[in-house]
Amino acid sequence: MKEEYTAAIVHNQRRHKKRFHKDDLELTLLAAPTFIWYVLFCFLPMFGVIIAFKNFSFQAGMGFIHNVFTSPWSGLKNFEFFFKSNDAWLITRNTIGYNLIFIILNVAVPVTLAILINQLRSRWVAKAAQTAMLMPYFMSWVVITYFVSAFMNYDLGLFNQILRYFGMENLQWYAEKKYWPFILIFLSTWKMAGYSMMIYLATITGMDASLYEAAHIDGASRWQQIRYITLPLLKPVMIMMFILAVGRIFNSDFGLFYQVPKGSPSLYEVTETFDVYIYRALTGSVNISRPSAAAFIQSVAGCITILIANGIVRKLDKDSAII
Amino acid sequence: MHTRTIKSLKSDKLNRISGSANLILSTLFALLALICVVPLILVVTISISSERSLYEFGYRFIPKELSLEAYRFLWNNRAMLLQSMKVTLIVTVGGTILGLFLTTSMGYVLSRKEYKLRNFFTWIVFIPMIFNGGLISTYFINKTVLNLGDSLWALILPLLVSSFNVVICKTFFMTTVPDSVVESAKIDGASQIRIYFRIVLPISLPLLATIALFLIFGYWNDWWQALLYIGEPNLKPLQSLLMSIERNIEYIAKYSALLGGSQTELLSQLPRESFRMAIAVAIILPVSLAYPFFQRYFISGLTVGAVKG
């Protein structure tokens, strides 16, 4: 029986030497629908980035691709226009600035929380806390907009009630740009921390418990156990999350930066990011050729940063690179 | 054997944090948990407060005066909510089933080491993870080339596949579906398509649950696609309805008037503040009640996803 099986495998392997046999055909058929999806929804739009180099004007009824090909080339004019506008500095500063803070917080906070929650004696407390802390992750930004307005509503909101209680003036929360960087950073951490904590926690609980036992018997303190066992074991996951986050450094969460502040014009300076800028351009009646320079930077620069980040990680520690 | 268990239990106990440290940590996490759920509680209590007490005392954690007026109004004007619910359900169910098929089939194909085009398809899946066409060209392609404006397809198709999910599937199939099972089915003359449907999918139910959950929550919470492609009120999903009401509470009156009511009369009865929150609660509730039960599938997905494939 066993010999028969081996013979069949050998036979199978021989058949593999042929160029494209039945198996490959069937697998190609199976992959075809998803492949078509990728072509239509991912690869087709990729060619659209060339409108950044065109003087694009959209004529209805002709189709986008036709319009792209017939629009005249404009060289780097769109980029010139974009970089000369005040927006360029503002949205680059906001997008990258917020993301740098998010990247640091979204690694530091969840790792700390995961290590701490793993120390809790009561599994029941740990489970309940995890469930509660995961809640924000499942709420959409539209729903969070409602949460935020329950606190920041001018007449009825909780924050102004507190201010009044202490005899202070009501604040127009949606017009006070000095508070919003903190509000946005808090909300982003609030929404994501529980979820990221779960990722790290899953890695920690998957570790070999005997490592800690051995360390304990050898007299390692709790801090030493964390420093020399937990953190090194978490490193690959941390690096993966870091690279992915760096690759999205030119992207921003539209819901957070546009929905939550209700698109308030007075908050423009602290909430305008690449995505908000492009969305405004797309829905406004402005020439879309110019914002397409911003869109190009977002796509191409994002791609380059992820490759660079991965390259640096590969130099430092070959096994941790993701590509 | 027996002594070893006792010993490891003992050392486990020894290795635990001190009672006071445990108390501090427990308090910290109780506090964090509270911060995470407090806004939800506030929204619920606002929705069951009477409109008068809201205007007098503002939003409160403990309602000064209870009232179900907002829910009554919501029930009397439920046509709009039900229509949006229908849209969300169709999109979520349709998108999840289609998405599951597209994601797992590609995942399976990529997990076959001997497949000739494996490298090619790996690149097809990988490239979109680091590069995309950006909002402007995606929008125009979807709207003008694929003609998705104002249709349910605009809500379903663009979100069907995520490369991240495909990689999770590939890793799962490579690590948990034994090659020998596939090989012996092939020897028995089964085609790859048959193997995928009849053997691989049935033994991968935990994976299907995980991917299905990612898709379900993605579709349920999506408002971005509707914001870009949907203008028709009848095609608005729940999240998009919530957004319209947030921008303009009169939206509900306008919509109900379309269905044959008097707009001014409705507006005069509308308990604005509590109603706003009541409709939010109606939309949040299913998710916040459901997710604790499915949490472990999420976590298993995260663990598989963290493994490099």
CB contact under 8 A, A23 and B115: yes
d(CA A174, CA A266): 8
CB of B146 less than 8 A from some CB of A: yes
What is the average per-residue pLDDT within A10-35? 77
From B22, which residue of chain A is nearest by alpha-carbon distance?
Answer: A120
CB of B122 less than 8 A from some CB of A: no
Residues 6+ apart with CB under 8 A from A225: A212, A215, A216
- Domains in chain B, start-ordered, CATH in brackets? 15-67 (no CATH), 72-306 (1.10.3720.10)
CB contact under 8 A, A134 and B295: yes
What is the average per-residue pLDDT within A121-141? 91
CB of B134 less than 8 A from some CB of A: yes
Answer whether B283's CB lies under 8 Å from B239's CB. Answer: yes
CB of B23 less than 8 A from some CB of A: no
CB of B17 less than 8 A from some CB of A: yes
- Match 């290795």 to its residue by tokens: B15
What per-residue confidence (pLDDT) applies to B3?
Answer: 42
Q: In A, which residues are within 8 Å of B187 by CB distance?
A: 5, 8, 12
Mean pLDDT across chain A, nearest whole number? Answer: 86
Report residue A20 CA to chain centroid gap: 39
Nearest CB to A150; choose among B17, B36, B43: B43
| Terminal C-alpha separation, chain B | 37
> Distances from the Cα of B284 to the Cαs of A7, B40, B80, B279, in angstroms?
59, 9, 17, 9
CB of B199 less than 8 A from some CB of A: no
pLDDT at A230 over 70: yes
Q: In B, which residues are within 8 Å of A38 by CB distance?
A: 124-125, 128, 161
From A11, which residue of chain B is nearest by alpha-carbon distance?
Answer: B187
What is the average per-residue pLDDT within A296-322? 84
d(CA A178, nearest CA chain B) in Å: 23
d(CA A111, CA A107): 6
d(CA A197, nearest CA chain B) in Å: 11
Q: Looking only at Cα atoms, what is the longest distance across chain B?
A: 80
B interface mutation test: which of A43, A143, A203, A251 has the most B CBs within 10 A?
A143
Q: In B, which residues are within 8 Å of A145 by CB distance?
A: 243, 246
Q: Where are the beta strands (DSSP E) in chain B?
A: none
What per-residue confidence (pLDDT) applies to B250?
Answer: 67
pLDDT at A65 over 80: no
Residues of chain B with pLDDT under 70: 1-15, 250, 252-266, 301-309
Residues 6+ apart with CB under 8 A from A9: B183
Question: B65: buried, middle or exposed (CB in 10 Å: 19+, 13-18, 0-12)?
Answer: middle
Produce one character per residue of A64-89: b if its CB has 16 or more CB atoms within 10 Å, e if not.
Answer: bbebbeebeebeebbbebbeeeebbe
Ramachandran sector of residue B190 (left: φ over 0; alpha: ψ -120 to 50; beta: rest): beta
What per-residue confidence (pLDDT) applies to B260?
Answer: 60
Instruction: Name the pLDDT band for A271 (thresholds 50, 70, 90).
Output: very high
- The ipTM, to two decimals, is 0.87
Which one has a higher pLDDT value, A85 or B262?
A85
Q: What is the pLDDT of residues A252-268, one digit of tens each?
A: 999 999 999 988 888 98
d(CA B128, CA A172): 42
- Domains in chain A, start-ordered, CATH in brackets? 2-70 (no CATH), 83-320 (1.10.3720.10)
What per-residue confidence (pLDDT) applies to A166?
Answer: 92
Structure tokens at B77: 């004007």
Q: What secondary structure does DSSP assign to B191-223, as a single string? A: -HHHHIIIIITGGGHHHHHHHHHHHHHHHHT--
Interface of B with A in 212-241 (CB under 8 A): 217, 221-224, 239
Q: In B, which residues are within 8 Å of A278 by CB distance?
A: 134-136
pLDDT at A142 over 70: yes
From A319, which residue of chain B is nearest by alpha-carbon distance?
Answer: B308
What per-residue confidence (pLDDT) applies to A7?
Answer: 57
Residues 6+ apart with CB under 8 A from A201: A114, A117, A118, A130
CB contact under 8 A, B36 and A194: yes
What per-residue confidence (pLDDT) applies to A2?
Answer: 52
Ramachandran sector of residue A55 (left: φ over 0; alpha: ψ -120 to 50; beta: rest): beta
CB contact under 8 A, A199 and B39: no
d(CA A313, nearest CA chain B) in Å: 15
CB of B68 less than 8 A from some CB of A: no
Of B67, B73, B107, nearest in space to B253 by CA: B73
What is the average per-residue pLDDT within A157-169? 90
From A294, which residue of chain B is nearest by alpha-carbon distance?
Answer: B134
Nearest CB to B193; choose among A5, A29, A146: A29
Answer whether B171's CB lies under 8 Å from B309's CB. Answer: yes
Interface of B with A in 170-189 (CB under 8 A): 183-184, 186-187
CB contact under 8 A, B11 and A213: yes
Report residue B65 CA to chain centroid gap: 34
CB contact under 8 A, A140 and B292: no
Q: What is the pLDDT of residues A104-124, one digit of tens each?
A: 998 999 999 999 999 888 888
Instruction: Name the pLDDT band for A64 (thresholds 50, 70, 90).
Output: confident
CA R_g for chain A:
26
Nearest CB to B132; choose among A45, A157, A255: A45
* Range scoring the smallest mean pLDDT among A25-29, A185-189, A224-228, B259-263: B259-263
What per-residue confidence (pLDDT) applies to B18?
Answer: 82
Structure tokens at B64: 């000064």
From B34, which residue of chain A is nearest by alpha-carbon distance?
Answer: A132
Provide the β-strand partners of residue A260. Answer: none
Backbone angles phi, psi at A288, to 5 degrees: -85, -5
d(CA B102, CA B98): 6
Provide the β-strand partners of residue B66. Answer: B49
Nearest CB to B130; choose among A143, A209, A247: A247
CB contact under 8 A, A213 and B115: no
CB contact under 8 A, B239 and A140: yes
- Match 């020897």 to its residue by tokens: B187
Q: What is the pLDDT of residues A238-249, one digit of tens each?
A: 888 888 888 889
CB contact under 8 A, B132 and A299: yes
d(CA A77, nearest CA chain B) in Å: 18
Mean pLDDT across chain B, nearest whole number? Answer: 85
> Distances from the Cα of A305 to the Cαs of A249, A275, B26, B86, B134, in angstroms?
8, 18, 40, 42, 16
Structure tokens at A301: 């620069």
From A301, which residue of chain B is nearest by alpha-carbon distance?
Answer: B131
Backbone angles phi, psi at B147, to 5 degrees: 55, 50
Answer whether B53's CB lies under 8 Å from B63's CB. Answer: yes
